[in-house]
Amino acid sequence: MARSRFAPDRGLSFRMGLTMVVLALLYVVLIGAISYGTGAVWLGVLIGLGVLWGQWYFSDKLALSGMGAREVSPAEEPELHAMIDRLCALADMPKPRVAVADTDLPNAFAAGRSPERAVVCVTRGVQRRLDERELEAVLSHELSHVAHRDVLVMTVASVVGVLAGFLTKMLLWSGLGNNRGGNNNAAIMVLVVTVVAAVVYGVSFVLTRLLSRYRELAADRAGAILTGQPSALASALTKISGEMAQIPRKDLRAAEPYNAFFFVPALTGKIDIASLFASHPPLEKRLEQLSRISVELGRE
């Protein structure tokens, strides 16, 4: 965990370490499956390392591009920069780059492979809806993700899902393996590797969702303790969650791929089995924790 004044969380550190170990094993399995499916070990290693490097190196750029965001200077957003300057000084951490997404979706997220190369992004929608105290609380939450380095873990974790999806499509669409014997052998090979990819994807999906829910609670706690204003974060959570229902469904669906990184998930409101694997804990649980922190800090 990065050194800063954000409250440390041993539970988060343990979960991140365990997740990385399991994902590393799954990654090796996937590279082996790609090598088997293509008949070339070097190709499996090359594809695996290439995807990993690309996700790691370009994660911040991909997130900003996907949300239609751009970096802004202090001259363009003086109040936003001043707020982040104060929080970074309070937390004793490097200042990340600052970006704004021109969308009415009220949200914020952090991305990047290290605290020195991170970016914190807010949307125009969240700027319009929150007051200064609430926005500062949200930014403190996002900065804690950067300080805890859980953004990096989530970025690396996403690679397994990307590779599993790539492997499945590669086998189903390109017909690789047809030159490795009879049709029956090729069909069996495709079936086995596809099942392996599906199982790996399922395990990685559950692992990252469990980590994601815990890291949101950890960021809520660390961010609220840093600012000493858990009520401001609770107010922001309540306000944004309520406003999400006013956002057009097409905009929510477009933003759903980034839910694991958002302050509040962009949900269409549909409740089904997928809610069991939500990227964020229930709003009630987050508010409960903030209420307890208020008592601990003597705010109530």
Q: How far apart are CA 151 and CA 112, in angstroms?
A: 7
Instruction: Establish if 85 belongs to a structural domain.
Output: yes
Q: What share of the chain is helix, strand, coil (3-state, %, to 5)?
A: 70, 5, 25
Lowest mean pLDDT among 55-64, 86-95, 138-147: 55-64
Instruction: Establish if 205 belongs to a structural domain.
Output: yes
DSSP letter at 101 equals E
Question: pTM for the whole thing?
Answer: 0.84
Instruction: Establish if 146 belongs to a structural domain.
Output: yes
**C-alpha 285 chain-centroid distance:** 19
Question: Where residue 45 falls among pLDDT bands split at 50, 70, 90?
Answer: confident
Positions marked catalytic: 142
Q: Quick check: helix, strand or coil at residue 62?
A: helix
Instruction: Establish if 102 belongs to a structural domain.
Output: yes
Mapped to the 3 state alphabet, what secondary structure does 206-246 carry?
HHHHHHHHHHHHHHHHHHHHHHCCHHHHHHHHHHHHHHHHH
DSSP letter at 298 equals T
Sign of CA dihedral 80, 82, 83, 87: positive
According to DSSP, the β-strands at 97-101 and 69-71 are: antiparallel
The label of the residue with tokens 């999906």 reads 205
Instruction: Establish if 279 belongs to a structural domain.
Output: yes
Q: Are 23 and 204 in contact (CB under 8 A)?
A: yes
pLDDT (mean) for 209-233: 93
Note down the domain range covering 122.
Answer: 10-179+187-298
Annotated binding residues for Zn(2+): 141, 145, 216
Tens digit of pLDDT for each residue in 166-192?
666 666 665 544 544 455 666 676 777
Q: Quick check: helix, strand or coil at residue 98?
A: strand
Q: What pLDDT score does 7 carry?
A: 76
- Give the ranges where 67-182 is alpha helix by DSSP (H): 78-91, 124-129, 132-148, 150-174
Instruction: Establish if 3 belongs to a structural domain.
Output: no
**Number of domains into which the chain is organized:** 1
Instruction: Name the token pair of 284.
Output: 């009630």
Q: Are 211 and 15 in contact (CB under 8 A)?
A: yes
Annotated binding residues: 141, 145, 216
Instruction: Establish if 135 belongs to a structural domain.
Output: yes
The label of the residue with tokens 């204003």 reads 229
Instruction: Establish if 1 belongs to a structural domain.
Output: no
Q: How far apart are CA 278 and CA 266, in angstroms?
A: 11
Ranges 133-137, 251-255, 272-276, most confident: 133-137
Percent of the chain with pLDDT over 70: 83
Q: Are 4 and 138 in contact (CB under 8 A)?
A: no
Sign of CA dihedral 60, 65, 68, 72: positive
109, 114, 263 from 260: Cα distances, Å: 9, 18, 9
